[in-house]
């Protein structure tokens, strides 16, 4: 049943085809999108003061009528628009720099409401450098608070307000979908009242109450969808069982391990086994810091499936990581007669045909691969368990496509990006969560230092010292926006410089073997470079962030990150995790000259903190959830008003209420609420079954 909210925005009075096209640029397509395009701020008419009473440098709101307009051009490429404005007491000047369109917007006689910074340095006159300017329609509503919206080209604040008023008028009879008992319990306004008061509030208190309602609404609906999906998954009965094992590979593997699993690994393995032995499919997120031993748990899970005559899949985001896992598991499973195969885009057509035939006929036990596992022609005979590594690098639909290749397979999703509790509650409320907190014994903490670019010789001396002791180093080049080509260029340039130094007898780096790795290399070239580095035939690997995840070379002891201030804390921590994987002391060197206060805070936090979860909390506060995981990849909806950091209490309350409502079957009997859920989550999360 279509809601009035679903009407195209074009049919709102005052929009029309042209404005509708403009609104699409800010993702406003329907009446719902329009009404949920909340004000970013309010212009408070009650705070208007006389211009003559303002102080130099003060941010003020002033008002008056236009008495004159002029354009000054003191030099080339500089245009100054000055509008003389008279209030009840004097004349002041509103000033714009290089904004000629202002000449067409206002005329003598117009009444303006102006917010800006006061400048009293010009011959006793008051100038206001304009931040915001409103043309006052003296016939319009005399609300003291005027909403200020994020806009797009071709639409002014005044036009947006008129459009919003017309939209509100058209939904006066809108039906409430939030449960009345929750609105009453938390003293939240009804839907129409909340919409009216967030767009055109009588006072700030009304706007605040409306904001509270929409923050709770966003969290509650998402948590209800997540909890409902989790409940639906728990009600499904999987078709496979591990109870009648046909071999004892798993037992033999555990007995022959050259190390003792940590207490955390044992605890998580018990959790995984309990899920696998259940008749309900497992959906578990495994968080573990870099080097904590998550791969062992994935190996145990896959072996349990193979023992029962079933198949497993292991999907990873990059070919380098797929190759790494294939090499490691091949070594671990040696002598166990486990039929492993690697499927990536690099293999030949004939190899691929052979692998697909064996997979379909059940001759392959475990298939490891990248996105190549997702194509339609990849068909398993009896897929029972799926491991997905570094899951946030995959889109939600990609993960779901892999799961469809089996009948409710058991799923273990792994990440080395520590996810703070609030973010986990938001994004992974439908999953059970396991955490490995401790590193395996014998690992030494990586020593982390920050040096300036002027001191880079200190880094080169450390690299040379480690090379003389038979150790290897990484040098990671800066993240340059989102351009792989530019990153490759930066890495190539640095590698060329280091190669020159390695040939110069007077240089610190003389005699060292330099390698280069970046995303623009062909697959075969990447593999060749990584194989040489693994074998110790390269002393220093200059790389982009392609080595961020999964690369495991225990002999590498130095991780140098150039222009480290360009990276988030989570990414720096991932890179640091590439060293410290053996028994030798390792080092992480940040080479940068941070300019901003935020950059300095981030670098200091990283140098002084080795705990991934603590860093993740700081990264989340500094950058927000979208930046932290990548909104598109993680499946986290883009909240319109809620903030998982600022509004943590509301998130926790919303989750509790969603769980209670589903326990009491309240959500399932509320048809309007179900319709709203389906509308909100029809794409992206695929939560509502």
- Contact (Cβ atoms closer than 8 angstroms) between residue 415 and residue 393: no
Which residues does 111 contact at the CB level (< 8 Å), separation at least 6?
63, 64, 65, 66, 135, 136, 138
Which residues does 402 contact at the CB level (< 8 Å), separation at least 6?
313, 315, 373, 374, 386, 388
Q: What is the CA radius of gyration of the chain?
A: 30
Compare 88 and 384 and report the one with higher pLDDT: 384
Q: Shortest CA distance to 6 belongs to which of 650, 485, 675, 622?
A: 675
CA 567 remoteness from chain centre = 14
Q: How confident is the model over 446-455, as a mean pLDDT?
A: 93
Q: How confident is the model over 641-652, as a mean pLDDT?
A: 84
Tally of CB atoms within 10 A around 301 = 28
- Contact (Cβ atoms closer than 8 angstroms) between residue 176 and residue 185: no
In degrees and rounded to multiples of 5, residue 73 shows phi and psi of -130, 80
- DSSP states along 387-434: EEESGGGS-HHHHHHHHTTSSS-EEEEEESS---HHHHHHH-TTSEEE
Judged by DSSP in three states, 101 sits in coil
**Is the per-residue pLDDT at 631 higher than 50?**
no
pLDDT in tens, 268-306: 999 999 999 999 999 888 888 767 788 899 999 999 999
Q: Model's pTM, two decimal places?
A: 0.67
CA–CA dist 79, 122 (Å, integer): 18
CA 459 remoteness from chain centre = 32
Q: How confident is the model over 93-119, as a mean pLDDT?
A: 89
**Is the per-residue pLDDT at 687 higher than 50?**
no
Compare 689 and 636 and report the one with higher pLDDT: 636
Helix 294-307 / helix 263-277 crossing angle, nearest 10 deg: 30
**Is the per-residue pLDDT at 629 higher than 60?**
no
pLDDT value of position 396:
56
Q: How confident is the model over 143-164, as a mean pLDDT?
A: 84
CA–CA dist 661, 665 (Å, integer): 6
pLDDT value of position 310:
94
CA–CA dist 153, 232 (Å, integer): 45
Helix 204-235 / helix 191-199 crossing angle, nearest 10 deg: 130
Count the alpha carbons within 13 Å of 158 in the hemisphere toward its beta carbon. Answer: 12
Compare 649 and 636 and report the one with higher pLDDT: 649
Q: β-pairing, 59-75 with 78-86?
A: antiparallel
Q: Kindly state the helix (H) or strand (E) to which residue 59 belongs, with its residue range.
A: strand 59-75
367: its two tokens: 């298939």
114: its two tokens: 């102006």
CA 356 remoteness from chain centre = 34
Q: How confident is the model over 459-481, as a mean pLDDT?
A: 89
- Contact (Cβ atoms closer than 8 angstroms) between residue 568 and residue 599: no
Q: Shortest CA distance to 476 belongs to which of 558, 375, 537?
A: 558
Which residue(s) pair with 133 in the sheet?
A: 114
Which residues does 300 contact at the CB level (< 8 Å), separation at least 6?
250, 253, 254, 269, 272
513: its two tokens: 């073997």
pLDDT value of position 488:
58
Q: Shortest CA distance to 158 belongs to which of 121, 221, 111?
A: 111
pLDDT value of position 556:
93
**Is the per-residue pLDDT at 141 higher than 60?**
no
pLDDT interval class at 159 (50, 70, 90): confident
Which residues does 108 contact at the CB level (< 8 Å), separation at least 6?
66, 67, 68, 69
CA 604 remoteness from chain centre = 23
pLDDT value of position 115:
85
pLDDT interval class at 525 (50, 70, 90): confident
Three-state secondary structure string covering 349-380: HHHHHHHHHHHHHCCCCEEEECHHHHCCCCCC
Which residues does 351 contact at the CB level (< 8 Å), separation at least 6?
none
pLDDT value of position 557:
95
CA–CA dist 135, 43 (Å, integer): 12
Q: Shortest CA distance to 651 belongs to which of 432, 426, 433?
A: 426
Which residues does 196 contact at the CB level (< 8 Å), separation at least 6?
168, 210
Q: β-pairing, 587-591 with 447-451?
A: parallel
pLDDT value of position 645:
73
Q: What is the dihedral of CA 266, 403, 232, 682, to 10 degrees?
A: 130
105: left (phi over 0), alpha (psi -120 to 50) or beta: alpha
Which residues does 197 contact at the CB level (< 8 Å), separation at least 6?
189, 206, 207, 209, 210
CA 400 remoteness from chain centre = 19
Compare 26 and 569 and report the one with higher pLDDT: 26
pLDDT in tens, 419-431: 776 677 676 777 8
Q: Detail the DSSP E strand segments found in 529-683.
A: 540-543, 556-562, 587-591
Q: Shortest CA distance to 45 belongs to which of 144, 158, 176, 156?
A: 144
Q: How confident is the model over 671-681, as a mean pLDDT?
A: 77
pLDDT in tens, 188-212: 999 999 999 999 998 889 999 999 9
pLDDT value of position 392:
55
Q: Shortest CA distance to 187 belongs to which of 171, 210, 207?
A: 210
pLDDT value of position 615:
78
pLDDT in tens, 28-87: 999 999 999 999 888 777 778 888 888 888 888 888 999 999 999 988 888 999 999 999
High-pLDDT (> 90) share of the chain, % = 37
- Contact (Cβ atoms closer than 8 angstroms) between residue 600 and residue 622: no
pLDDT interval class at 442 (50, 70, 90): low
Listed range (17-26, 423-432, 509-518) with the worst mean pLDDT? 423-432
Q: What is the dihedral of CA 440, 434, 628, 595, to 10 degrees?
A: -30
């Amino acid at each position: 049943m279509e809601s009035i909210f679903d009407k195209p925005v074009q049919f709102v009075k005052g929009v029309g085809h042209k404005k509708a096209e403009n609104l699409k640029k800010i993702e406003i397509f329907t009446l719902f999108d329009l009404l949920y395009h909340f004000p970013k701020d309010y212009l408070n008419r009650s705070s208007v003061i006389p211009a003559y009473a303002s102080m130099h440098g003060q941010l003020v709101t002033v008002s008056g009528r236009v008495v004159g307009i002029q354009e000054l051009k003191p030099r080339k490429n500089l245009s100054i628009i000055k509008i003389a404005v008279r209030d009840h007491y004097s004349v002041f000047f509103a000033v714009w720099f290089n904004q000629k369109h202002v000449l067409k917007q206002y005329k003598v006689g117009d009444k303006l409401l102006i917010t800006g910074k006061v400048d009293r340095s010009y011959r006793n006159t008051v100038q206001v450098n304009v931040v915001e300017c409103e043309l006052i329609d003296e016939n319009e509503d005399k609300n003291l608070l005027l909403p200020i919206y994020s806009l797009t080209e071709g639409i002014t604040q005044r036009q947006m307000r008129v459009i919003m008023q017309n939209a509100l008028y058209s939904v006066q009879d809108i039906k409430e979908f939030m449960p009345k008992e929750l609105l009453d319990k938390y003293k939240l306004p009804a839907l129409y009242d909340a919409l009216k008061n967030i767009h055109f509030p009588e006072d700030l208190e009304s706007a605040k109450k409306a904001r509270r309602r929409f923050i709770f609404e966003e969290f509650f609906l998402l948590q209800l969808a997540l909890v409902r999906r989790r409940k639906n998954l728990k009600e499904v009965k999987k078709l496979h069982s591990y109870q009648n094992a046909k071999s004892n590979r798993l037992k033999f593997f555990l007995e022959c391990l050259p190390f003792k699993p940590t207490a955390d690994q044992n605890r998580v393995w018990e959790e995984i086994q309990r899920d696998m032995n259940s008749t309900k499919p497992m959906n578990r997120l495994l968080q573990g810091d870099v080097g904590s031993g998550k791969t062992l748990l994935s190996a145990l899970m896959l072996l349990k499936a193979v023992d029962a005559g079933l198949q497993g899949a292991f999907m990873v985001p990059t070919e380098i990581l797929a190759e790494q896992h294939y090499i490691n598991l091949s070594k671990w499973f040696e002598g166990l007669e486990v039929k492993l195969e690697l499927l990536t885009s690099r293999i030949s057509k004939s190899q691929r045909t052979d692998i697909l035939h064996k997979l379909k006929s059940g001759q392959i036990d475990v298939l490891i691969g990248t996105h190549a596992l997702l194509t339609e022609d990849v068909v398993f005979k009896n897929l029972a368990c799926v491991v997905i590594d570094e899951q946030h690098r995959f889109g939600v639909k990609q993960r779901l496509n892999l799961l469809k290749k089996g009948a409710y397979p058991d799923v273990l999703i792994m990440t080395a990006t520590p996810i703070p509790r609030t973010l986990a509650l938001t994004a992974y409320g439908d999953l059970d969560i396991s955490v490995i907190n401790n590193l395996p014994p014998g690992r030494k903490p990586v020593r982390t230092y920050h040096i300036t670019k002027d001191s880079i010789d200190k880094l080169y001396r450390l690299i040379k010292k480690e090379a003389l002791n038979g150790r290897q180093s990484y040098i990671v080049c800066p993240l340059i926006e989102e351009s792989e080509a530019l990153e490759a260029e930066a890495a190539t340039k640095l590698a060329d410089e280091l190669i020159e130094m390695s040939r110069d007898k007077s240089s610190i780096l003389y005699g060292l073997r330099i390698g280069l790795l970046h995303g623009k290399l062909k697959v075969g070239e990447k593999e060749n470079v990584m194989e040489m580095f693994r074998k110790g035939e390269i002393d220093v690997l200059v790389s982009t962030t392609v080595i961020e995840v999964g690369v495991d070379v225990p002999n590498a002891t130095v991780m140098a990150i150039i222009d480290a201030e360009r990276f988030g804390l989570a990414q720096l921590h991932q890179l640091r995790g590439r060293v410290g994987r053996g028994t030798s002391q390792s080092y992480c060197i940040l080479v940068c000259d941070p300019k901003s206060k935020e950059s300095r805070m981030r670098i200091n936090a990283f140098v002084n903190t080795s705990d991934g979860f603590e860093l993740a909390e700081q990264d989340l506060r500094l950058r927000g959830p979208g930046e932290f995981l990548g909104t598109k990849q993680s499946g986290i909806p883009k909240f319109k008003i809620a903030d998982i950091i600022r509004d943590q209490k509301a998130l926790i309350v919303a989750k509790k209420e969603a769980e209670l409502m589903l326990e009491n079957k309240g959500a399932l009997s509320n048809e309007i609420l179900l319709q709203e859920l389906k509308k909100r989550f029809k794409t992206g999360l695929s939560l509502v079954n």
